[in-house]
Amino acid sequence: MSVAPRVIIADDEAHIRLIMKKVIQSINCELVGEAQNGFEAVELCRQFKVDIVLLDINMPKQTGTESIKFIKELQPNSLIIMLTSVADVETVDECLKYGAYNYIRKDTPIKEIRQIIVESWNSFLTARRNKNEDKVQPEGNPSGDQN
């Protein structure tokens, strides 16, 4: 039995949080918190173990772009998917450079949003598993004794 991914949604627009909440519930994820700005998102990541963070790029107080590094420090194994209403490729690229895994335009149809989240999560898990398999641990006694 697999455990449902734990999700935080951070967006300053209540209707976007509501839409994303319904999407998250429809793909059997557990919503652990909602934030209206980057500071709140970081605080939620400090309080809870999360697997997925849906993070708006443009928010008051602290942008999603500014929040990525703090979230990655607190939750290095989390998947961050940026939410954006603009098609500013430079900003999206900057977010990806800082540790976001993917992005979703807010005008994307719901069916595609579900698909992006599920495919991103599956791809992220596969990459994480492969990374862990690359860390082969030697066995035996470090002194070389056969005991």
Sole residue written with tokens 């999360």: 50
Residue 11 has pLDDT above 50, yes or no: yes
- Name the domain count of the chain: 1
pLDDT tens per residue, range 108-137:
999 999 999 999 998 888 887 777 665 555
Supply the pLDDT for residue 3. 79
Supply the pLDDT for residue 147. 52
Q: What is the mean pLDDT of the chain?
A: 86
Helix (H, G, I), strand (E, B) or coil at 116: helix
The answer to whether position 142 is within a domain reads: no
The answer to whether position 12 is within a domain reads: yes
CATH of the domain at 99: 3.40.50.2300
Which two structure tokens, joined as six digits, stand for 40?
């709140």
The answer to whether position 136 is within a domain reads: no
The answer to whether position 147 is within a domain reads: no
Q: What is the mean pLDDT of residues 9-31?
A: 94
Query: Is the distance from CB of 45 to CB of 55 less than 8 angstroms?
Result: no
Residue 144 has pLDDT above 90, yes or no: no
89-123: burial string, b at 16+ Cβ within 10 Å, e else: eebbeebeebebbbbbebeeeeeebeebbeebbee
CA torsion sign for 57, 31, 19, 60 is: negative
> Length of the chain in residues, anyone?
147
Average the pLDDT over each of 27-36, 45-54, 103-112, 121-130 and give the range with the smallest value: 121-130
Which two structure tokens, joined as six digits, stand for 134?
């690359």
The answer to whether position 35 is within a domain reads: yes
Q: What is the mean pLDDT of residues 39-53?
A: 95
What is the span of the domain harbouring residue 17?
6-125
